[in-house]
Amino acid sequence: MLVEVLLRLQNPYRLWKDAFDESSVCEPDSQRGWKPVPGIGFDFYHRYMKGKREIRLNSLGLRSSKEYSSVKEQDTYRILIFGETTLVGWELEESQTISSMIEKNLSNEISGKKIEIIPVAARNYCLGQLFLWYKTVFHKFDYDLLIYYFNVNNPRRTITFHESGKPILFTKPVFLWSEAEGLRLCGSPQTKHPNDMIYLGPNDNTIIERGRTARTLHMWLRDCIHVYCALVDCFQGATRLRKFNDRTEIKDIEKSTKTKSHGDKILPYQWETCMHILREWSKLVSKKSSPMIIIPHMAYYNAGNNWLLTENKHPLGFKYNEIPCRRYLKYITKKINVEYFDTYQYAYENRVDTRGFYIHPRYAYYNPIGAEFQSKYISKMISSYLPS
């Protein structure tokens, strides 16, 4: 009983049943499926994070205490940076997020110009949703540089109508591509249960795995007793994926190396879809006479615990030369003529110790140390695009 009390005092939100309901701060959107509710504030908590974080969204639904006009001031160098969960950084204070620190770093380097970073990011978003956000809102903005902060979740979520375990609100259309019609949006089948898994197969066939609610004594104890939950975490191991009795693990899609029956045979089909979206996006950016840069987030599964240095294959990840964000992104960016900055290569060649970068081994979320590393790297790489 004493251990139970101590665990509850350390983090009262450690139990799965007490998880933060992300859909409570989102609303339906006719194009993107859902969007962050603009102009609100709330406290965010997480089972592997001590304390709460105060989150404020501006009138555009961005995590920023600033408001942005579509017309930038004359003495301003403006950068749009697009991303999802790892960029929005709810686990960090706003001043500690990657986008905030990039703005601070570049402002200290450049005199005579105001540096403005607009963080266009939302949790659980995919590449297609961010592309639609750009087309409907931010394409109208003045800007000098566009950065896409690529996450390992992007390929699998880009072909996923609904991810098993997410609220029903988090259902969206996905992009299809064909030689005859190009990119087109495909509406989602009806999601009936939060544990439904609905996604596209390699031949554009819709795969539906209906979910259910599993109730066992083990699950009740895990959800309600902190001591039991801690023991489960201990037996699972630090990085082992959870095994569910009632839903499908989205990460299984990432393991697919199947290609479509048409199109580019080099890329797995989920990555091919990403390539076509990024190609269309880069065409729109080029019309603004602005460069586009793609930079990958350095995920724990590929880089944590110094796997980049030891070159040991992580049970759930890849060797250095097999990391998809290196293999496929390098190919895609070359194919569509977009700049690519390889975070993994920088960490690998400079023998960067990554062990203290993440809030917990199961998650790709950076702590302040990891966010500072990434922001310094990005700041260094984009400095060549800044006015002298």
Rounding to the nearest 10 degrees, give the CA dihedral for residues 130, 51, 301, 332.
Answer: 20
Whether 117 contacts 264, CB under 8 Å: no
**Maximum distance among all Cα pairs of the chain, rounded to whole angstroms:** 66
Question: What pLDDT sits at residue 388?
Answer: 61
Q: Is 30 left (phi over 0), alpha (psi -120 to 50) or beta?
A: alpha
Residues 285 and 216: their CA atoms lie apart, in Å, by: 52
Residues 381 and 378: their CA atoms lie apart, in Å, by: 5
CA distances from 84 to 160, 247, 365 (A): 15, 23, 11
Residues 39 and 347: their CA atoms lie apart, in Å, by: 37
Q: Is beta strand 160-162 parallel, antiparallel or unpaired with respect to 197-200?
A: antiparallel
Question: What pLDDT sits at residue 253?
Answer: 79
Residues 317 and 129: their CA atoms lie apart, in Å, by: 26
CA distances from 329 to 7, 86, 154, 203, 374 (A): 42, 18, 11, 22, 18
Task: Sort 279 into a burial class: Cβ within 10 Å, 0-12 / 13-18 / 19+.
Answer: middle
Whether pTM > 0.85 for this model: the answer is: yes
Question: What pLDDT sits at residue 49?
Answer: 85
Helix and strand counts by DSSP (H, E) for the chain = 14, 14
SS (HEC) of 263-285 = CCCCCCHHHHHHHHHHHHHHHHH
Whether domain 69-385 has CATH 3.40.50.1110: the reply is yes
Question: What pLDDT sits at residue 152?
Answer: 87
What token pair was written down for 208? 């539906």
pLDDT (tens place) for every residue of the chain, 388 residues total:
999 999 988 888 889 889 999 999 999 999 999 999 999 999 999 988 888 999 999 999 999 999 999 999 988 999 999 999 999 999 999 999 999 999 999 998 877 789 999 999 999 999 999 999 999 999 999 999 999 999 988 999 999 999 999 999 999 999 998 888 889 999 999 999 999 999 999 888 999 999 999 889 998 998 999 999 989 888 876 655 566 778 888 877 777 777 776 566 688 999 999 999 999 999 999 999 999 999 999 988 777 767 777 766 666 566 777 788 888 999 999 999 999 999 999 998 998 988 889 987 767 789 999 999 999 999 999 888 776 6
CA distances from 132 to 158, 281, 377 (A): 12, 9, 28
- Give the DSSP letter string of 317-359: S--GGG-HHHHHHHHHHHHHT-EE--HHHHHHHTT---TTSBS
Question: What pLDDT sits at residue 279?
Answer: 96
Q: Is 289 left (phi over 0), alpha (psi -120 to 50) or beta?
A: left
Question: What pLDDT sits at residue 110?
Answer: 78
Q: Is beta strand 145-150 parallel, antiparallel or unpaired with respect to 76-83?
A: parallel
CA angle 117–123–126, rounded 5-degree value: 90
**pLDDT tens-digit readout, 342-365:** 999 999 899 898 888 998 776 778
SS (HEC) of 301-324 = HHHHHHHHHHCCCCCCCCCHHHCH
Q: Point out which residues pair with 149 in neighbouring strands.
A: 295
- For the chain, give every domain's residue range: 69-385
What token pair was written down for 157? 């979520």
